[in-house]
Amino acid sequence: MHKTLADRCFLLPNGPCPSLMERAGKALAKERAKTGPAAAAYRRGCGVNEEIPGMANPDSSTGATTVEHRDLANAIRFLAIDAVEKANSGHPGMPMGMADLATVLFTKHLNFDPKAPHWPNRDRFVLSNGHGSMLLYAVLHLTGYAQATLDELKRFRQLGARTAGHPEYGHMEGIETTTGPLGQGLATSVGMALAERKLAAEFGEDLVDHHTWVFCGDGCLMEGVSHEAISFAGHLGLSKLIVVHDNNHITIDGSTSLAVSDNQRARFEASGWATLEIDGHNPEEIDAAFTLAKSLNKPVFISARTHIGFGSPSKQDSEGAHGAPLGAAEIEKTRAALGWPHPSFEVPEEIYAVWRKAGARGEAVRLAWEKTLAEAEPAKAAEFTRRIEGRLPEGVAEAVEAAQRAAVAAPQAISTRVASQRALEVLTAHVPEMVGGSADLVHSVLTKTKSTPPMSKQDFTGRHISYGVREFGMAAAMNGMSLHGGILPYGGTFLVFFDYCRPAIRLAALMGAKVVFVGTHDSIGLGEDGPTHQPVEHLASLRAIPNLRVYRPADAVEALECWYDAIALPGPSVFVGSRQGVPQIRLDPETAVMPFRGAYVVGGEPAKRDLTLLATGTEVSLAVSVRDALAAEGISVAVVSMPCWERFDEQTEDYRRSVLGDAPRMAVEAASPFGWTRYVAREADVCGVPTFGLSAPAPEIYKHFGLTTEAIAEKARAFLAAGGR
């Protein structure tokens, strides 16, 4: 079916190029010609000059060495097979099919050091087809990552194990990102590659010069986010990004021909990628392709024709190998077919030895890099280290507090999206690692500041990214930048379009990635655009995501507080802003700067409380107007602004009780009332938007839903007359 490697060419937009072997040879010669101790260490780390002791040359037929490529690859296969069998759960087919590719990558090309898994200039490896997690766990174990013990492999998919069903960031060193939802790993890797280019442009390639490698499957390339990611990476010419496609023609339901007939190479080429096609089980072809890919000046797509369940006599090339244990009888047949007579979870010591030497390749590279960092100009080295460690610069808090006092001294009625931009002007001037962007809405979501010039293929020093109409791709890329380190990403779109971003927001929360997702035009206040563009259920659904902070400030002072809180704390945040203007509620210089606790009583505690009115964002000023109207009738109302529920819930019980009080409570928010029963007795006690919005001028829509001073005051009177029930 396949032509020989020498007969196959890869294509670039300007036409055919010489054969892969010829060009790989030239790339290899170029690497060997590099001089200097760092270059020599790099060559040793990447296997350019020499083979790993004890490992046969991939094209050797002498049998003179102890361990052949197939032995190393089979170690991956059978650790995966055995772990899935023991768990009675998992996906053996992909690790069996991609073991040859992983073996060549980790033994000869990937720059990593298990002794220093967080070394900043390591290559990043992303397993986008995360259901094949045992491939990654097996390789991490074989190469000597301390946390990837054999016992952990035996606990695959068990409660409390590091070896979760899909790779989870933070569970085990060597896992660069959480994957499993297909396509997201590929999109996240684009952010990693972009972060590498950004930091290299700023600090120099002596400190930042590494590749991002991605394994992906047919399913990843069917997902819509892959189209966004591929297009964006090609547009920016991310030359350090290499994607290896597990082209096995099989999905869960059967052959890929059931659902897709795309020419994947042509698709990537159309987006500005270089493409290669290889036999994914031929180590010579794999090695040549990887060598060549590293030398090209654009992102590279390698289509590797593989066999899912490789070596299984009954299940190879069938969906039966995808997502279920092979079974004891089939495993024994596979051991015989692949010449692996060893018992379950047993890897011969001579094979371990070669794998461990492969894992030790990167130490020399890492030590040479550390020497380069130590000898760098001190201010440059200190700034690079600060950013990688995620520490904010000195003086940021003081700058924010000064801006808060200035806002109180000169109050203005502005939209909270404008308040957000003003906060960003302060922060981006003091925090150079903040990199913003928008999904083709920069003049609406207002994420660009004077300190964030545009980033482009020609100039990666910029700090504002035009993501285009690629909301999901934007959110996933921001996750990748955050995980890479050295970048604090934020980016925005209309809040209603967070439905397109949601899968990446969820993964950010699962991973604890420090990203700020900006959503503006946050309610029915959008008016005439109508219900397609008016977020109603979005606040509730975002607040339902664990480990995610949702900020909805009421004015310019709260916007500054929320933004600083978002970047000062670990983990992801959502900043929600309005299109319409609102009056400033923080007017007292004594309260210009307060500890941020997620909620507080506006204007101080009244002498007595007949009613507590909770509100967020644009509805806080509405609640204040209700308070003032009822005060004229002798009804004392405490208005509580709650810009961040999650931060309020973290406070002490005494503080929470002091804010919420003992009086009956109502809530006001121009959104779904769902979720407010955390603080009020019933959803009926919420003045909100229980249905989709309407197309009309905003004041008419607010009146329609009873979100006016008069309507809320009347509801409050009836509520109190009924005994606060």
Binding residues for thiamine diphosphate: 131, 180-182, 219, 248, 322, 497
Take residue 106 and report the two structure tokens written for it: 């980790």
Which string of DSSP letters, residue by residue, matches 447-463? ---TT-PBPBTTBTT-S
The length of the chain is: 725
Distance of CA 240 to the CA centre of its chain: 18
SS3 of 554-597? CCHHHHHHHHHHHHHCCCCEEEECCCCEECCCCCCHHHCCCCCC
Take residue 705 and report the two structure tokens written for it: 């839903």
Annotated binding site: 91, 131, 180-182, 218-219, 248, 250, 322, 417, 444, 497, 521, 529, 533, 579
Between the alpha carbon of residue 45 and those of residues 37, 89, 359, 367, 500, the distances in Å are 12, 36, 9, 11, 41
Alpha carbon distance 647, 564 (integer Å): 13
Q: What is the largest CA-CA distance in the chain?
A: 99
Task: Yes or no: say if 93 and 338 are a contact pair by the CB < 8 Å rule.
Answer: no
Take residue 22 and report the two structure tokens written for it: 């010829």
Alpha carbon distance 342, 346 (integer Å): 6
All residues at 6 or more sequence positions from 633 whose CB lies less than 8 Å from its CB, including other chains:
none
Alpha carbon distance 290, 122 (integer Å): 17
Residue 700 DSSP code? H
Task: Yes or no: say if 384 and 393 are a contact pair by the CB < 8 Å rule.
Answer: no
Between the alpha carbon of residue 418 and those of residues 112, 556, 557, 593, the distances in Å are 44, 8, 12, 20
Which string of DSSP letters, residue by residue, matches 484-513? HSS-EEEEEEEGGGHHHHHHHHHHHHHHT-
With residue 215 as reference, give the H or E element that holds it: strand 212-217
Residue 269 DSSP code? H
Take residue 376 and report the two structure tokens written for it: 């760098």
The residue assigned the tokens 């650790």 is 79
Between the alpha carbon of residue 255 and those of residues 180, 222, 319, 597, 690, the distances in Å are 20, 13, 8, 54, 45
Take residue 660 and report the two structure tokens written for it: 């919420």
Closest listed residue to residue 556, CA positions, set 421, 430, 700: 421
Closest listed residue to residue 593, CA positions, set 647, 552, 557: 557
Annotated binding site for Mg(2+): 218, 248, 250
Between the alpha carbon of residue 554 and those of residues 255, 260, 651, the distances in Å are 54, 49, 20
Annotated binding site for substrate: 91, 322, 417, 444, 521, 529, 533, 579
Q: Where are the beta strands (DSSP E) in 583-650?
A: 600-601, 611-615, 637-641
State the catalytic residues.
471
Which string of DSSP letters, residue by residue, matches 121-146? TSPEEEESSGGGHHHHHHHHHHHT-T
With residue 301 as reference, give the H or E element that holds it: strand 300-305
Alpha carbon distance 496, 494 (integer Å): 5
Closest listed residue to residue 475, CA positions, set 577, 548, 563: 548
With residue 45 as reference, give the H or E element that holds it: helix 37-46
Amino acid at 613: L
